[in-house]
Amino acid sequence: MVDAVTGTKQLKEAFANSIEELPPVHGTPRLRIKKKDVPLVAHYLHTHPGLRGVLSLLWAVDHRPHEARYELYYLFTLADRRDWLLLCTDIHSDDRLFASITPHIHAAKWYEREIRDMFGLIPVGHPDMRRLVRHEHWPKGSHPLKKDFQWDTVLERVQGQYAFRHIEGEGVFEVPVGPIHAGIIEPGHFRFSVAGEPIMQLEIHHFWKHRGIEKLFEQQTLIAAVPLAERVSGDATVGHSLAYCQAVETVLCIDVPRRARYLRSLFLELERLHNHLGDVGAICNDTAYVLAHVHSSRLKERLMQLNDRLAGSRFLRGTMAIGGVTSDVSSLQRGEIVDVLDQIEKDFSELESIIFANASLTDRLETTGVLTERTAWDHGVVGVVGRASGIDQDVRRDRPFAAYDEVPPRAVLYRYGDVRARLRVRMDEIHESIRLIREICHKIPEGPLVVAPDHVPQPGEWALSAVEGWRGEILYFVMAGENGRIHRCKVRDPSFVNWPAIQWAVVGNIIPDFPLINKSFNLSYAGNDL
């Protein structure tokens, strides 16, 4: 497998007349591609045996009014999952068309539909031109991320209807579920097509709670936007705020103090730990195994109470800041952390043995909701779901951030791709997070918690950032604007790339198994719908 530098040379040799090499940005190689040739280059990068680039992010930037153009960025991660390679192309402001890469790369499907909705740019050749983010009640021609669209615009409501795809045939029935559900979960619509009991097709219609997050970023300064990042997805407060901070720190040329980097890893692992504990119980609960759910909830609650004592927030909100952290952890508190984790690990190990000694439970989990490695790779699936399907990716190991270069994680990988595999990934990562936290508490150095920026970025300077959140890889692109403000902030929660994959994991299963499969993915509605 080749690195990004070699991959760049290979692409230039294969498409000499279509590619212009640009100076790298913060170590990421860049290639400007002629607009018409983007599908060919992307397909080559995706399928060549030595490259096998996975589309990790696709986004647009409106450079108006200073420049009469839009720009599209295609971020690929090469097969070894360590190197990024960035393709970009220009679209003149009087031209709304660009060639779709979705027929070649499945992972681009939602990205291109999102760009059409938010910018009014049309992916020619895309197999599904229905709206994605903008619901049918939005008036035609409203594209919120265009620079001439005001953030406080009040849209007129119009009538519209989503065109669901139907399977025709005798004995085929459609079963709609949602968007409003029992309990307190967020809205999401699922439409099943069944013939008898097996699911033939699942169509997901989400994006019911669009909050204009990326537009709101553009009203903020680089320094002041951390609280907004924390609120992208509340259960991933640390992951999102850390990813945002890292991108801004790169733009501002900030070297985060070593103690702060250790504390960032500590808070991130605590976030991973309490969420995984909750998920283990929730998966068992959807099999009616209430005992495991109750004990997992007890352990999660104990950990969240610890979070509250450490940071004043059960969800560790307010711990991240540009240049470091806001919350310190004393030696006495580190001792408390280790004591609590010792008891949690002891109790969880006992619970783990009980769970896998229950034959009726494991029978329900095995071969249910299988997501194959090939399907996961085609859709760019990340995180827990990806590692359960054989995708060997963990940003903490592959692109170390915070203190993970000094406290590296051990890889967790399964290949079965079923609910049991996704449960096992979480269980193994619980033990690994506990080990990492102990090591961090033991090794944490002395030093300052935060440093102030001393660099004023020029408009157009940008950076990318990746964090392995508890669900998976969180990505941020931040571009500086004028007067210290944000020109563009692109956010990608792992749920955005994992939601389409669940439509494949349910095929051939029965509808009563869907809540279990869905819970084993446990994706965010808020993080998906910005």
Residue 263, pLDDT score: 98
CB atoms within 10 A of CB 372: 15
Per DSSP, the residues of 225-237 read: THHHHHTSSGGGH
Express each pLDDT in 314-329 by its tens digit.
999 999 999 999 999 9
Express each pLDDT in 467-517 by its tens digit.
999 999 999 999 999 999 999 999 999 999 999 999 999 999 999 999 999
**How far is it, in rounded angstroms, from Cα 157 to Cα 138?**
6
Q: Does the pLDDT value for residue 81 go beyond 70?
A: no
What's the burial of 50, exposed, middle or buried (CB within 10 Å: 0-12/13-18/19+)?
exposed
Residue 403, pLDDT score: 97
Place of tokens 């060549």: 48
Express each pLDDT in 196-230 by its tens digit.
899 999 999 999 988 999 999 999 999 999 999 99
Rounded CA Rg of the chain: 23
pLDDT above 90 covers a percentage of the chain that reads 84
Residue 137, pLDDT score: 87
Select the highest-mean-pLDDT range: 49-53, 178-182, 442-446. 442-446
Q: Does the pLDDT value for residue 1 go beyond 80?
A: no
CB 467 within 8 A of CB 395: yes
Query: Which domains are delineated in the chain?
Result: 4-124 (3.30.460.80), 213-528 (1.10.645.10)
**pTM score > 0.85 for this model?**
yes
Express each pLDDT in 367-416 by its tens digit.
999 999 999 999 999 999 999 999 999 999 999 999 999 999 998 999 99
